[in-house]
């Protein structure tokens, strides 16, 4: 049975009966639950209202969402702290799980800050005091233990302004533990990818690494920085660009507004916002202690009374009446966020008040509580959430190939296929709707898309390369490691037949790997790895122009992937391109110094030293050790000029590292073997010989005679 009431009736006093409670008004609707303002049926007049959070009816029987909801309620039952929103009840009614929470008479920190920046006589002190209250709540959360005293290692994972509530009485409370990480068998494992607020997740969350309580401290640091300067810390033209800024902890916005931050607070913020968790505060208590020292040094110490005055001021204003001089926060809460809060948008109170029954039963709840959650399906993939109409009329594009042949009029999807097959590049001439032919690189819909599929740089007009050579004489591994230890910047290009790969370096770091191999394109990568169906990629390509011609933005907008998921898949795609390049044994290379990556190319750095080390160690295990040793006994070897730096920065097994360190000057392989033969077997020596030469730690006078390069080159030619 579904109960539905028009808004006018709600305003006149109608309500929905919900077990022992009455639902008076819907105030929010999120990805997992809808939230109502209500009360107990027999509540006395004047008793504060309650917040009743109900799991959405269409996911009410989904095991994963049920597990998340139960986890949140179970965790809340263990928390009792003035800086945490209390959960008062939990149960099931009409097939739907619900929880009852205390009502915070006030507003969330996001709305408070946007309506009222700056606030009070000492804006900085009040902002710091608010964050100290948040950190006291986190101290309690992070310190929770089970009945045996073992730490639960709880991580909120979704700390943001919209999950911090400020009351009329001046209280500061944390809410929404729906995606909290908990280490306990009493809680249900969640296969879904955790989703935090876009712009507030920690670098390790962006990279999908295991997180601990220090991720929450990073998020709180972001909130504090934004409260102080009145601007978003991480911004960009797309979700992916923002995630990259977070991943690298780029604090350019903060640094550009240091005039709004006390020097001591700036030091504290930079520590809280360190990219490496080991460089952040070790606990919420340590973070709070340093902030308290800042407060104690100020003339006046703010508190709940001062906050209450400012909250009252904010509640008198509407969002459109913000006092912020430059609209410091966007109109819509958490624009571009990965998942919205369940209670962050009271504008959804308008419309029909309805409560549909769910499908969950008491028996299912019992099964959820005892289920083997390792057997549950994964929900890491996101379905398309809305219909999409192909962009514009079919047949807008005419392509003129270099041989004069014309293709079209054709559709944008077909144009993408031509780019996939390397028939269209940046300088290919294209006409749209009968207009003059212009290079593809000058068409806005294509400029951000082309770098993914075609060479990102035309080198015909460049000066002579600073370095060039043949890949059967110098391996890609040793060339790139040499560029890295010299901290070089520029463009490294490898060409093998029609295949081409590009690696951009910035101060020794590989920041992007380009490829024209159709199988290494983003769409093809997602299909090949089972992330998306072919039809889904084709749909995204068909409407690409709506999203600035960028496939990544299109996939996010369609709901096929979250920004974090896409970021991680792009990282894997780029790493695969890089790994494939390491196996090239035929072709030529060129290096152009001080050439920068073209604008609008999404830079995805590669951990060059680690990736090459792993590749070489893996390849060394496939060697025919006796054959290599017998063929190389008389070969002259010597340490390269970068031997010391490379040994320090590569991550090699200790046995190989020990063998490499025994060579201190020119020697034959035979003499070197006699030196290490006492403690090393023949296979280990062959592996060390291979890794040392391929990494450029050792050099040989005649690289063309290296047996593994000859064998791999022959295999490459066959392919």
Name which of 305-309, 319-323, 423-427, 686-690 the model is least confident about: 319-323
Name which of 381-385, 409-413, 607-611 the model is least confident about: 381-385
Alpha-carbon Rg for the chain, nearest whole angstrom, is: 30
Residues 6+ apart with CB under 8 A from 526: 532, 537, 555, 569
The stretch 69-79 carries a mean pLDDT of: 82
The stretch 573-592 carries a mean pLDDT of: 91
DSSP-assigned states of every residue in 509-547: EEEEEEE--GGGSHHHHHHHTTSS-HHHHHHHHHTGGGG
Alpha-carbon distances of 242 from 13, 195, 206, 246, 486, rounded to whole Å: 45, 15, 10, 6, 30
Report the pLDDT value the prediction gives residue 187, as an integer from 0 to 100: 61
For residue 25, what pLDDT band results from cuts at 50, 70 and 90?
A: confident
Cβ 479 vs Cβ 492: under 8 Å: yes
Long-range contacts of 77-83 (CB under 8 A, 24+ apart): 78/144, 79/140, 79/141, 79/144, 81/136, 81/137, 81/140, 81/141, 82/171, 82/173, 83/133, 83/134, 83/136, 83/137, 83/140, 83/171, 83/172, 83/173, 83/174
Asked if residue 133 has pLDDT above 90, the reply is yes
Residue among 8, 281, 267, 228 at smallest CA distance from 118: 228
Cβ 687 vs Cβ 620: under 8 Å: yes
Residue bearing the bigger pLDDT, 532 or 222:
222
Residue bearing the bigger pLDDT, 601 or 365:
601
DSSP-assigned states of every residue in 446-469: HHTTHHHHS-S---TTS---SEEE
The stretch 441-456 carries a mean pLDDT of: 54
DSSP-assigned states of every residue in 158-220: --SGGGEEEETTS-EEE---TT-B---TTS----SPP---TTTS-HHHHTT----HHHHHHHH
Report the pLDDT value the prediction gives residue 478, as an integer from 0 to 100: 93
Residue bearing the bigger pLDDT, 449 or 668:
668
Report the pLDDT value the prediction gives residue 357, as an integer from 0 to 100: 62
Count Cα atoms within 13 angstroms, Cβ side, for 563.
Answer: 24
Please indicate, yes or no, whether the overall pTM of this predicted structure exceeds 0.95. no
Cβ 691 vs Cβ 661: under 8 Å: no
Residue among 209, 210, 196, 203 at smallest CA distance from 159: 196
The stretch 142-162 carries a mean pLDDT of: 88
Asked if residue 455 has pLDDT above 50, the reply is no
Q: Three-state SS for 616?
A: helix
Cβ 686 vs Cβ 631: under 8 Å: no
The stretch 33-58 carries a mean pLDDT of: 87
The stretch 157-166 carries a mean pLDDT of: 91
Instruction: Please tell me the chain's helix, strand, coil percentages from 3-state DSSP, rounded to the nearest 5.
Output: 40, 15, 40
According to DSSP, residue 147 is labeled T
Report the pLDDT value the prediction gives residue 681, as an integer from 0 to 100: 81
166/534 Cα distance (integer angstroms): 47
Cβ 193 vs Cβ 208: under 8 Å: yes
For residue 188, what pLDDT band results from cuts at 50, 70 and 90?
A: low
Cα dihedral: 392, 394, 397, 403 (round 10): 160
For residue 486, what pLDDT band results from cuts at 50, 70 and 90?
A: very high
242/563 Cα distance (integer angstroms): 10
Count Cα atoms within 13 angstroms, Cβ side, for 169.
Answer: 7
Neighbours of 489 (CB within 10 A): 17
33/29 Cα distance (integer angstroms): 6
For residue 76, what pLDDT band results from cuts at 50, 70 and 90?
A: confident
Residue bearing the bigger pLDDT, 682 or 376:
682
Report the pLDDT value the prediction gives residue 263, as an integer from 0 to 100: 93
Could you identify the residue written with the tokens 């049920």? 66
Neighbours of 608 (CB within 10 A): 22
Report the pLDDT value the prediction gives residue 359, as an integer from 0 to 100: 54
Name which of 5-14, 110-119, 494-503 the model is least confident about: 5-14
For residue 456, what pLDDT band results from cuts at 50, 70 and 90?
A: very low
For residue 446, what pLDDT band results from cuts at 50, 70 and 90?
A: low
Q: What angle do CA 462, 464, 470 make, to 5 degrees?
A: 115
According to DSSP, residue 59 is labeled G
For residue 156, whether the previous peptide bond is cis, meaning omega lies within 30 degrees of 0, is no
The stretch 297-324 carries a mean pLDDT of: 82
Report the pLDDT value the prediction gives residue 237, as an integer from 0 to 100: 62
H or E stretch including 333? none
pLDDT above 70 covers a percentage of the chain that reads 75
What's the sign of the alpha-carbon dihedral 196, 202, 205, 206? Answer: positive
The stretch 456-482 carries a mean pLDDT of: 81
The stretch 286-298 carries a mean pLDDT of: 94
For residue 409, whether the previous peptide bond is cis, meaning omega lies within 30 degrees of 0, is yes
Report the pLDDT value the prediction gives residue 266, as an integer from 0 to 100: 95
- Domains of the chain (ranges, CATH numbers): 1-103+343-373 (3.30.200.20), 105-342 (1.10.510.10), 392-447 (3.30.1490), 456-606 (no CATH), 612-718 (no CATH)
Asked if residue 24 has pLDDT above 50, the reply is yes
Residue among 68, 75, 25, 69 at smallest CA distance from 50: 25
For residue 613, what pLDDT band results from cuts at 50, 70 and 90?
A: very high
For residue 488, what pLDDT band results from cuts at 50, 70 and 90?
A: very high
156/213 Cα distance (integer angstroms): 8
The stretch 267-273 carries a mean pLDDT of: 96
pLDDT above 90 covers a percentage of the chain that reads 30
Give the mean pLDDT of the chain: 78
For residue 601, what pLDDT band results from cuts at 50, 70 and 90?
A: low
For residue 367, what pLDDT band results from cuts at 50, 70 and 90?
A: very low
336: alpha, beta or left, given left = phi > 0 and alpha = psi -120 to 50?
Answer: left
Asked if residue 221 has pLDDT above 90, the reply is yes
Report the pLDDT value the prediction gives residue 434, as an integer from 0 to 100: 84
What's the sign of the alpha-carbon dihedral 692, 696, 697, 698? Answer: positive
Asked if residue 452 has pLDDT above 60, the reply is no
The stretch 651-657 carries a mean pLDDT of: 88
**How many residues are given for the chain?**
719
202/659 Cα distance (integer angstroms): 40
Cβ 513 vs Cβ 609: under 8 Å: no
Asked if residue 426 has pLDDT above 50, the reply is yes
Asked if residue 586 has pLDDT above 80, the reply is yes
Name which of 216-220, 605-609, 712-716 the model is least confident about: 712-716
């Amino acid at each position: 049975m579904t109960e539905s009431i028009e808004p006018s009736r709600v305003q006149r006093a109608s309500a929905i009966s919900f077990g022992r409670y009455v639902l008076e008004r819907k105030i929010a609707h999120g990805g997992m639950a809808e939230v109502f303002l209500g009360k107990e049926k027999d509540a006395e007049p004047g008793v504060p209202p309650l917040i009743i959070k109900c799991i959405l009816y269409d996911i009410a029987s989904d095991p994963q969402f049920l597990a998340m909801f139960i986890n949140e309620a179970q965790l809340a039952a263990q928390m009792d702290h003035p800086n945490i929103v209390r959960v008062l009840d939990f149960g099931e009614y009409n097939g739907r799980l619900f929880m009852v929470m205390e009502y915070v008479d006030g507003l969330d920190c996001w709305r408070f800050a946007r309506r009222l920046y700056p606030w009070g006589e000492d804006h900085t002190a009040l902002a710091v005091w608010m964050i100290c209250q948040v950190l006291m709540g986190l101290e309690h959360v992070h310190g929770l233990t089970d009945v045996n005293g073992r730490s639960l290692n709880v991580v909120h994972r979704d700390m943001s302004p919209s999950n911090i509530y400020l009351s009329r009485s001046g209280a500061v409370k944390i809410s929404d533990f729906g995606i909290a990480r908990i280490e306990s068998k009493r809680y249900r494992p969640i296969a879904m990818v955790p989703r935090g607020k876009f712009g507030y997740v920690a670098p390790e969350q962006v990279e999908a690494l295991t997180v601990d309580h220090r991720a929450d401290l990073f998020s709180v640091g972001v909130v504090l920085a934004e409260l102080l300067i009145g601007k978003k810390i991480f911004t960009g033209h797309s979700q992916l660009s923002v995630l990259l800024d977070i991943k690298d902890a780029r604090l350019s916005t903060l640094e550009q507004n240091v005039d709004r931050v006390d020097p001591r607070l700036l030091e504290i913020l930079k520590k809280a916002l360190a990219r490496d968790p080991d460089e952040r505060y070790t606990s919420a208590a340590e973070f709070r202690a340093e902030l308290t020292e800042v407060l104690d040094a100020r003339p006046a110490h703010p508190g709940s009374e001062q906050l209450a005055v400012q909250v009252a001021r904010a509640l008198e204003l509407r969002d459109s009446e913000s006092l912020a001089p430059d609209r410091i926060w966007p109109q819509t809460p958490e624009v571009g966020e990965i998942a919205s809060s369940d209670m962050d948008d009271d504008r959804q109170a308008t419309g029909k008040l309805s409560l549909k029954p769910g499908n969950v039963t008491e028996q299912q709840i019992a099964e959820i509580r005892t289920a083997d959650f390792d057997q549950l399906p994964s929900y890491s993939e996101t379905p398309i959430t809305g219909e999409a109409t192909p962009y514009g009329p079919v047949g807008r594009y005419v392509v003129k190939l270099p041989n004069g042949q014309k293709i079209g009029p054709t559709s944008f999807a077909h144009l993408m296929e031509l780019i996939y097959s390397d028939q269209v590049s940046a300088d290919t001439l294209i006409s749209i709707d009968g207009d003059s032919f212009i290079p593809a690189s000058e068409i806005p819909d294509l400029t951000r898309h082309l770098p993914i599929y075609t060479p990102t740089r035309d080198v015909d007009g460049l000066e002579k390369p600073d370095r060039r050579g043949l890949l059967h004489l110098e391996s890609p591994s040793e060339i790139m490691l040499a560029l890295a230890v010299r901290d070089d910047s520029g463009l490294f290009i490898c060409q093998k037949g029609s295949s081409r790969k590009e690696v951009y370096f910035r101060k020794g770091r590989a920041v992007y790997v380009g490829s024209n191999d159709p199988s290494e394109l983003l769409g093809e990568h997602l299909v090949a790895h089972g992330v998306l169906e072919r039809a889904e990629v084709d749909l995204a390509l068909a409407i690409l122009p709506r999203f600035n011609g960028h496939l990544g933005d299109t996939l996010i907008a369609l709901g096929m992937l979250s920004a974090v998921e896409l970021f991680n898949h792009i990282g894997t795609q780029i790493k695969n391109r890089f790994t494939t390049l390491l196996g090239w044994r035929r072709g030529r290379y060129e290096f152009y110094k001080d050439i920068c990556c073209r604008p609008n190319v999404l830079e995805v750095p590669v951990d060059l030293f680690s990736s090459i080390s792993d590749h070489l160690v893996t390849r060394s295990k496939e060697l025919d050790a006796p054959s290599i040793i017998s063929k190389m006994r008389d070969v002259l070897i010597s340490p390269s000029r970068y031997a010391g730096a490379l040994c320090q920065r590569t991550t090699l097994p200790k046995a190989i590292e020990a063998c490499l360190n025994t060579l201190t000057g020119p020697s034959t392989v035979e003499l070197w073997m006699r030196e290490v033969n006492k403690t090393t077997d023949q296979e280990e020596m062959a592996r060390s010989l291979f890794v040392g030469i391929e990494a450029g730690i050792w050099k040989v006078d005649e690289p063309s005679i290296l047996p593994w390069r000859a064998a791999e080159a022959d295999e490459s030619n066959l392919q």
